[in-house]
A and B are shown apart, each in its own frame.
Chain A
Amino acid sequence: QSALTQPPSASGSPGQSVTISCTGTSSDVGGYNYVSWYQQHPGKAPKLMIYEVTKRPSGVPDRFSGSKSGNTASLTVSGLQAEDEADYYCTSYAGSNNLVFGGGSKLTVL
């Protein structure tokens, strides 16, 4: 199984919206509604932000939203804040009890 494809970087100014993509295949992202997104600040463990494509865990601001079209999932962060600057990773179920991560995207708040 190959890693999901994410852009290495994304950026936006405070208050703006930014979208990070996560591209896989019909065997992972496109085949299942089990895409999740994680935020990771330097030196910290990842934090779940979105699961099952669009669902937000309790405590995650509604500025974070997820979607999927075909083999590509997306994470949108609206109303960017300085604290949103972090690395973001997507994950997808890949069938046969396998999970695959994306390579990660560094979000910079300008």
Chain B
Amino acid sequence: QLQLQESGPGLVKPSETLSLTCTVSGGSIRRSDCYWGWVRQPPGKGLEWIGSIYYSGNTYYNPSLKSRVTISVDTSENQFSLKLSSVTAADTAVFYCARVLSWPIMSHFDYWGQGTLVTVSS
């Protein structure tokens, strides 16, 4: 059974960079038929796709966040990571990592991590 687990600081200061890692277990991140993605959800609000990465390193970002987002993959550790720069209070959210089927079209998220709350505050 595939499992995803987010990890990283729960508190980030304004203007700094938010960094999270997603560890994939129960399966290889080096699958040719899927992407790996990040989704966030501000408290009490809806879901927003942040971006996705293919195991080869190709990345795809939400245009509204593209200038501040970097997603990377470490196939040796079966992990992928998110960096969001210049954060403000508006970036406070629960961040989820998920597997995105299929390739080449990103269709749907079938496995999700439990989510991790990141608060932006001084």
Instruction: Report A's interface with B, CB cutoff 8 A.
Output: 1, 3, 32, 34, 36, 38, 40, 45-48, 51-52, 57, 89, 91, 93, 97-104
Contact = CB atoms under 8 A, between A and B. Distances in A.
A65 to B, nearest CB: 16
Interface in B29-60: 37, 39, 46-49, 52, 60
B62 A93 contact: no
A100 B60 CA distance: 13
A98 B62 contact: yes
B106 A104 contact: no
B107 A98 contact: no
Contact of B46 (A3, A32, A36, A99): A3
A98 B60 contact: yes
A45 B106 contact: no
A93 B106 contact: yes
Given A45-B113, A45-B115, A46-B96, A101 B108 contact: no
Give chain B's interface residue range (CB within 8 Å of chain A). 20 to 34
B106 A97 contact: yes
A48 B109 contact: yes
Contacts of A48: 108-110
Given A45-B115, A98-B63, A52 B108 contact: yes
Nearest to A102: B46
Contacts of A57: 110
Contacts of B109: 36, 38, 46, 48, 91
Contacts of B105: 32, 34, 93
B114 interface: yes
11 contacts: A1-B62, A34-B105, A36-B107, A45-B113, A46-B96, A47-B112, A48-B108, A48-B109, A51-B107, A93-B106, A97-B106
